[in-house]
Structure 1
């Protein structure tokens, strides 16, 4: 069933069934490119959440006892369905989140690859036998931690939920995931792929609702054994504190404010092109988006000119329109944040070289923006913009640039451009970030870990490390009977 906008009706998924929710209460879903209401998302009651928890508890008992070969086969089947349905998943994603169709479809295809990686990695969750005394077997075993409570934002509507779901299910856990109320149909389309692949009822449960109420209920429940969250630093701190009250482990993938250091021996034109491409992907609504551009003073003029050229070449529009390379921001809140950060920078003496304002049309569109002459105390240099704002700041020496780059309490991603292997190694060693790219601004990949340091969180997603949080390490000492 779809609406007149071609948008599917949204339901929750609990105990293997699609449902509306106990009270029928719902919230509107808005297309950010048109500001039109295109559907409704059901909001869970406490009773709905309890049903999901009970289902996850029962689903865990079934799933952990399912042979790993069978689990892997089901997950590979789900990955195949995600890839097969990538175009339709992308269409729905663009309707509710706004990113261009090419980005949406590409995200769905990458999601299938991530699931395949984690499914195969489940076969390699090895334990070990430790040499010990005669008559004793000393071993280390890795077992699924149990039902997971997971919470995801709206910026990657299929990739974000899948990183939690694929890791949990590959490890042998069940999961209750609260999808974003702004992008619910994409999450539902993802869950449908798992259901159609033959996943047993209760192993995967999808709910929506008032965020504070849902998180409090799921985290406090004795059923859940792990809290997995992706989102802002302030919300992450609140959820980690709630988990800490009941001594529940948590996985926190939080925000950042990624510096880009363009060293004196770099090619400023190539650096600007690569950095701008990454900056305006998903309208800058990426936690690893480059967001502070620290450029050596000898290169700053050429770098800035090329960056402005790249920004002005971005085609802003409805993600469904042919030729669009940057869609709208996800909501009115992001627009107001862009306006506030830009106004503050200008009030403190900063200059807008291009963009700097909301576009005069329906939808949450903000022009790709490049700013210079920004003082060190500007909010833009301290607060993650999560939008298409690019502040360019010159530096005189690398010590100064590293001090600025590391001067914030965040440490998710960082980037550097240099032709020197020695300088590259220095950047790798001294930049305080969990994700680092040299001579490009690459995003997350499923075969390698991603995660932050300092206030950007803890734990890792991707790579062999992705399953660590979802597994319990158990030491077993077995004295053999005489």
Structure 2
């Protein structure tokens, strides 16, 4: 079952590559339709092995000093930087995204996140130790939760793996990660480099398989202490249901339908450029991508024509060409799903301003698409497209703009475009989302958290806030009196030698007052 050919090994368990025991599967380059590599997928039995391996490795890694864990992650970041171009090319080959995005966003962002958690490993904060009760010293311990089961998506394979793995490793946890079976290559490379960096064998394990069996087995595994998932809301709910059978803790980063609110005093040029970049990043296959432009009436037609003009300049083509702005989508199956939603919008009478037609030729390509005059009840407005599609609608006043922004079950990200500081502050307060950008949309930084509310999930990735997902809080309370009998013991067992009695304590010979006497006393 073990193989030394890491280009075809679907899994990485105990520090060595492993072929799975399931079906044969091909990783396809969606831009060309050609096969990148073929592998044998993992099965639930392989999940059992990986989880047992992670459990066996937990004690050593959990007991390592923060400095030791930090050193491993620093070395890993350096190795990732050394192999940055290999990561970028591999990421493009399995996703179809443009090489410029991989080189300038995906890979450097992943390296920075790894470096950040190398530092965070040595910064465990807690309430100050003190004698809060007066006769005990109380202190807080932050301890690794245990074995982490992570399930990551296909849109940002490397970044999502890093977001889940690095805070878990910094906290002292061991990990079993299941990447999407269509994009496992950079996750497997990350695991190999982690061993080279000195991570103990078995601390980081990869199992590549279908979500319906391997993902379900990992989410419902009784020996996993927390399940973390990034993906669609529907699948996230299934993951949570599987974890609930064992009462397993869950962290979810799910779908989004981000509003892009343009107030009547906005810098129109900035809003137009921002809307194009924010709606087309990664081919729109981004949960935080701008999907619903909600624009003030006085700017509406200028905004629509401006976005259409900029979209017309976007070059779509070979992902390996540095001049390509937008590559293919992740698969022809997903491309057809996006195209179907646009066709239904067109059939419903919505105005497709630009794009909206599947190009001829090979590859899972779909052009930048702008749809105007979209009502709040339209499918394309309400449901997640996850493609290069931006809808535009208008609003009447500030109250209406905020209402429309919040008229969605999702709450991952949003942006507001205005020169008015008070409007900006109101948008930041009142738009329900895990992140609200002001006069920008998309930038993320390792120091700040990422995560949503509502149908977009709960819990955080990135930043030191994400460490809380992988740590348990323990209160240690130590007596400082050295007394055998503590003052509070008398609550449970009376001190027979104690002549002191509370005013309400009755002696055996005391005569209980009559009701009349009680009434007289009260009077």
Band of TM-score, shorter chain:
over 0.9
| Contact 2:132/2:138 (<8 A) preserved | yes
TM-score under structure 1 length normalisation: 0.96
Q: Which residue of 1 aligns with 2:153?
A: 153
| Contact 1:34/1:362 (<8 A) preserved | yes
Mapped pair 1:18 → 2:17: yes
The secondary structure found in structure 1 opposite 2:177 is: strand
Q: Which residue of 2 aligns with 1:112?
A: 111
Mapped pair 1:438 → 2:442: no
Q: Which residue of 2 aligns with 1:226?
A: 226
Structure 2 residues not aligned, in runs of 5+: 1-5, 484-523
**1:379: how far off?**
0.7
1:247-281 alpha-carbon deviations (Å, 9 max, x no partner) = 11110001110000000000112101111112111
Q: Which residue of 2 aligns with 1:84?
A: 82
Greater Cα shift, 332-341 or 299-308 = 332-341
**1:43: how far off?**
1.1
> Whose radius of gyration is greater, 1 or 2?
2
Q: Return the alpha-carbon distance in structure 2 between the equivalents of residues 444 and 41 of structure 1.
A: 34
Q: Return the alpha-carbon distance in structure 2 between the equivalents of residues 41 and 211 of structure 1.
A: 16
The secondary structure found in structure 1 opposite 2:73 is: helix
Q: Which residue of 1 aligns with 2:250?
A: 250
Mapped pair 1:71 → 2:46: no
**1:210: how far off?**
2.0
Report the CA distance shift for 1:426/1:133 in structure 2 as closer, same or farther (over 3 A): closer
| Contact 1:10/1:185 (<8 A) preserved | no
Alignment of 1:317-396 (within 5 A): 317-396=317-396
The secondary structure found in structure 2 opposite 1:112 is: helix
Q: Which residue of 2 aligns with 1:311?
A: 311
TM-score under structure 2 length normalisation: 0.89
Greater Cα shift, 72-81 or 128-137 = 128-137
The secondary structure found in structure 2 opposite 1:390 is: strand
| Contact 1:171/1:470 (<8 A) preserved | yes
**1:306: how far off?**
1.4
Report the CA distance shift for 1:39/1:327 in structure 2 as closer, same or farther (over 3 A): same
**1:132: how far off?**
2.7
Q: Return the alpha-carbon distance in structure 2 between the equivalents of residues 52 and 112 of structure 1.
A: 25
| Contact 1:178/1:206 (<8 A) preserved | yes
The secondary structure found in structure 1 opposite 2:415 is: strand
**1:322: how far off?**
3.6
| Contact 1:175/1:203 (<8 A) preserved | yes
The secondary structure found in structure 1 opposite 2:422 is: helix
Q: Which residue of 2 aligns with 1:177?
A: 177
The secondary structure found in structure 1 opposite 2:163 is: helix
Q: Which residue of 2 aligns with 1:419?
A: 419
Q: Return the alpha-carbon distance in structure 1 between the equivalents of residues 389 and 133 of structure 2.
A: 63
**1:27: how far off?**
1.0
| Contact 1:288/1:443 (<8 A) preserved | no
Q: Return the alpha-carbon distance in structure 2 between the equivalents of residues 293 and 41 of structure 1.
A: 42
Alignment length (residue pairs): 475
| Contact 1:256/1:456 (<8 A) preserved | yes
Q: Which residue of 1 aligns with 2:212?
A: 212
| Contact 1:348/1:374 (<8 A) preserved | no
Q: Return the alpha-carbon distance in structure 1 between the equivalents of residues 134 and 382 of structure 2.
A: 60
**1:10: how far off?**
4.1
**1:49: how far off?**
1.3
